[in-house]
Amino acid sequence: MPKKIVLSVLVVLLAAGLSACSVMQSTYQKKVDEADMLTKRLAALQKKHDDLIAENAVLKSDMARMTLQNEKMTTDLSYVTDQRDKAIEGKNELERILRSRSDSLSQSIVELRRKVADLEAENAKLKEENAGLAKAREEQVQKVSSTYERLLEKMKSEISKGQVTISELKGKLTVNMVDSVLFDSGKAEVKKGGLEILGKVISILKDVNDKSIRIEGHTDDVPISRALAKRYPTNWELSAARAVNITRHLQDQGIDPGLLSAVAYGEWKPVATNDTAEGRAKNRRIEIILVPKE
């Protein structure tokens, strides 16, 4: 083969080799670029993956928190529902109690109205009875006043002499007689002058049949003398004997004994001081008292 041809072939082969090398270099560069791009994409995907993992963790945390909140809300809802049910039950019970109390109150009102009506009727009856009692009392007072006035008129002389005092207070009439006009000193028998004075009183008392007549015996505080002590050991006995003798005399003169009573006070109910003769004289007395029947 000629040398020129060989050179030509070598040139061709070299050009082909150079061309092939150029092609391979271009392909390699493409692969490198593609690998870089893939690496970048992989890095981006890895970052996105990491971001998604982080976001997933946040979402899981939020989900856990929301789950807890949901459980709490469920518990709260259950509590609220329970409280609502209890409130409804309480409301129903309260309504039942109120209805019951309302019925009871209505019944009580009816009962109270009935009692008020009964009380009003009883009050009217009591007013009527009180009116009757007041009228009866007024009549009794008028009778006592009439007796009082008649005694005053009958015994003007004794009253003027201070031997007798007559008083009237709240339906109670008292004839107070000093002992000296009825008895001798230390004695319980009524003397003649005393009988005359008693006669005046008896003439008025005979017309009294709606009063109790109480005869009271009183003395001063001077002890009984030795001579009289055997018969009257103390002033109790002396005042009792005098009161009883007056009472018996009233009975003997026609006064109903059922209206009579005798009481002895001795020295223990004075109307004046016992330190003076005048005071002791006032304390020695017989009182004839007209009082309402028991």
d(CA 181, CA 196): 10
> Is the whole model's pTM more than 0.85, yes or no?
no
Question: Are the C-beta atoms of 142 and 208 separated by less than 8 Å?
Answer: no
pLDDT, residue 133, reads: 52
**Nearest Cα residue to 287 out of 217, 235, 221:** 217
More confident: 50 or 240:
240
- Residue appearing with tokens 């459980």: 71
**84-141 pLDDT per residue, tens:** 788 787 778 877 887 777 778 788 888 888 888 888 887 777 777 766 554 445 455 4
DSSP symbols for the chain = --HHHHHHHHHHHHHHHHHHHHHHHHHHHHHHHHHHHHHHHHHHHHHHHHHHHHHHHHHHHHHHHHHHHHHHHHHHHHHHHHHHHHHHHHHHHHHHHHHHHHHHHHHHHHHHHHHHHHHHHHHHHHHHHHHHHHHHHHHHHHHHHHHHHHHHHHTHHHHHTTSEEEEEETTEEEEEEEGGGTB-TT--SBPHHHHHHHHHHHHHHTT--SEEEEEEEE--SPPPPTTTTTT-SSHHHHHHHHHHHHHHHHHHTT--GGGEEEEEEETSS-SS-SSSHHHHHHHSEEEEEEEE--
Confidence tier at 9 by pLDDT (50, 70, 90) = low
Residue 144 has pLDDT above 70, yes or no: no
**253-285 pLDDT per residue, tens:** 999 999 999 999 999 999 999 999 999 999 999
**167-191 pLDDT per residue, tens:** 998 888 999 999 999 999 889 999 9
Average pLDDT score over the chain: 84
Q: What are phi and psi of 293, to 5 degrees?
A: -65, 145
Within 13 A of 157's CA, how many CA atoms are on the CB side?
A: 6
More confident: 7 or 101:
101
| Non-local CB neighbours of 193 within 8 Å, separated by 6+ positions | 181
Alpha carbon separation from 278 to 54, 152, 166, 258 (Å, rounded): 131, 24, 19, 36
* Pair of tokens at residue 194: 């005393």
pLDDT, residue 281, reads: 94
pLDDT, residue 255, reads: 95
- Under CATH, what is the fold of the domain 155-292? 60s Ribosomal Protein L30; Chain: A; (3.30.1330)
Phi-psi region of 42 (alpha: psi -120 to 50; beta: other; left: phi over 0): alpha
